[in-house]
Structure 1
């Protein structure tokens, strides 16, 4: 399945901002793998001192953004699994801003972030590959919006791409 095959009733319109960032003609598994390699390669550009950098008062540090990406990966995978196993279920949203202060990123180094992202993304790739075509099409409600299992996988890749772009624009990591 490719992102171009998604229907607008499979996700909240808010996520168009992420879906526009990914190639629409790649199969989900290939997209997630290529996106993983792109992000891991990007992380190689981050120096240890960059992790505590924030481009403005009240904005997340580089480490907090990386942890946010890992957290969202896990949450989207959980949502996908739940939709595939229990179509029609209603799942609550989550407050990503509330997760950041509790994330203890000050005790992390870039290697630990790389290892964790790789493990979580690899787990997601295995998860999506385990789903049948029917399971990928299963829908429920996430934060009050109709959402499909497959849409969450594509959105996760677009979300990662979105933050790579923000790192380049706002954190001057290129």
Structure 2
């Protein structure tokens, strides 16, 4: 299953900015594995003293961004799972900003956050490997719009790239 197979009916236009970060030949399952390697390498290359840096006082720190990526992956894989299982119950959106403070991301070490990311990503990969391509094509309702299970999963990969680009541009 590759990104070019996605149709515009499978996701809300809001998610296009993340999906556009992916090459059209990005394979879903391999994209998760490659994305894991790339993200870990990227965050390990950031000087430790930059972990709590914010380029503006109202912006998240680098550690908070990593925590956000972990939390978002959890939510989007939950969406992917429910949709792939043909659950037609509308799935609520979430306010990403309220998740950061209780996460305590700035009190966690970068190594702890990366370990949390790796464990979570491995669980996501296991879930994707348990789903068939047919399961991943099912469409449900997420955050008030239609979304396929595979669009939810592909969004995670693009979302990671989006935030790594933001860090490169504004934090380093």
Q: TM (normalized to structure 2)?
A: 0.97
Q: TM (normalized to structure 1)?
A: 0.95
Match of 1:106 in 2: 106
Unpaired segments ≥5 residues, structure 1: none
Following the alignment from structure 1 to structure 2, what is the Cα–Cα distance between the partners of residues 112 and 16? 31
Deviations 1:91-135 (A, max 9, x none): 000000111111111220111111111111111111111101221
Match of 2:20 in 1: 20
- On the 8 A contact 1:3/1:27 being kept in 2, the answer is yes
**Alpha-carbon offset, residue 48 of structure 1:** 2.3
Following the alignment from structure 2 to structure 1, what is the Cα–Cα distance between the partners of residues 50 and 136? 38
Following the alignment from structure 1 to structure 2, what is the Cα–Cα distance between the partners of residues 145 and 49? 40
Following the alignment from structure 1 to structure 2, what is the Cα–Cα distance between the partners of residues 122 and 58? 32
Match of 1:83 in 2: 83
Match of 2:133 in 1: 133
Following the alignment from structure 1 to structure 2, what is the Cα–Cα distance between the partners of residues 55 and 93? 27
Following the alignment from structure 2 to structure 1, what is the Cα–Cα distance between the partners of residues 56 and 126? 38
Following the alignment from structure 1 to structure 2, what is the Cα–Cα distance between the partners of residues 111 and 117? 10
Match of 1:35 in 2: 35
Match of 1:62 in 2: 62
Deviations 1:66-111 (A, max 9, x none): 1000000100111111111233221000000111111111220111
Following the alignment from structure 1 to structure 2, what is the Cα–Cα distance between the partners of residues 111 and 53? 16
Aligned to 1:161, the other structure's residue is in SS state helix
Following the alignment from structure 1 to structure 2, what is the Cα–Cα distance between the partners of residues 89 and 128? 21
**Alpha-carbon offset, residue 57 of structure 1:** 1.8
TM-align CA RMSD: 1.0
Unpaired segments ≥5 residues, structure 2: none
Deviations 1:14-43 (A, max 9, x none): 111011111121220011111111100001
